[in-house]
Structures are given as structure tokens and as C-alpha cells.
Amino acid sequence: MEAVDGNAIGGLLQEVFGTEMTGAASVCGSCGAARQVAELAVYLRAPGTVVRCRSCESVLMVFVKVHDMTCVDLLGLAALG
């Protein structure tokens, strides 16, 4: 499966964070790479939506929707916003 990028989840991110996030800065918790969210690697058809670092491929964010609830895991990030 080929990755798209953070542009593709602008709607999901706005739903979760309540604001536009594709232009927000992110820092990978593993390698320290800093990128705008739009530039991160996004896998849409994993079990849930998986966002990975474009430098070291570490998992940065995971979003899983269950009915009307979205479960969010941001543990791979050192910083966001």
C-alpha cells in the first residue's frame, strides 16, 4: 500500500483538533525530524489511519473510528502545533 500525505486527512484532523492542522508543525519522537503535518506519510487503509515520519518511518499518530467516536494515539510525536 502506497502512502499519501497529511493533506488527505485534513478533515479528520480538523474534526479531532477543532482547527486546521495540515500546516501545523510536527516533531518525530524517534528521530526528531520536523515537518509540517501535510508532509507526513499517511496510510489510509491500515486498521485505522496511520501517520508515519517521512524520515524514519516511526508511527507518529493513529486514528481509529468506532461508531461516532475517534480514538487518537499521538505517542509517537515529540511535539505538534
Partner 1 sequence: MAGTALRRRLTWQIATVSTVTVETASVRTLTLDVPDWPGHQAGQHLDIRLTDEDGYMAERSYSIASAPGEPVAITVERLDDGEVSPYLTDELRAGDDLELRGPIGGYFVWEPEDGGPLLLLAGGSGIVPLRSILRHRERTGSTVPVRLLYSSRTLSDVIYRAEFDQPASGVEVIHTLTRSQPPGWSGYARRVDTALLTEVAWPAAAMPLAYACGPTSFVEAVSQALVQSGYPPERVKTERFGATGGT
- Binding site residues, partner 1, CB under 8 A: 2-11, 14-15, 18-20, 22-23, 36-39, 44
Nearer to partner 1, 34 or 79 (CB): 34
* Backbone CA torsion sign across 40, 61, 49, 45: positive
Least separation in angstroms between CB 68 and partner 1: 11
Least separation in angstroms between CB 67 and partner 1: 10
Nearer to partner 1, 11 or 47 (CB): 11
Q: Which residues pair with 79 in a beta bridge?
A: 27
Cβ burial 22-55 (10 Å sphere, 16+ → b, else e): bebebebbeeebebebbebbbbeeeebbbbbbee
Least separation in angstroms between CB 52 and partner 1: 13
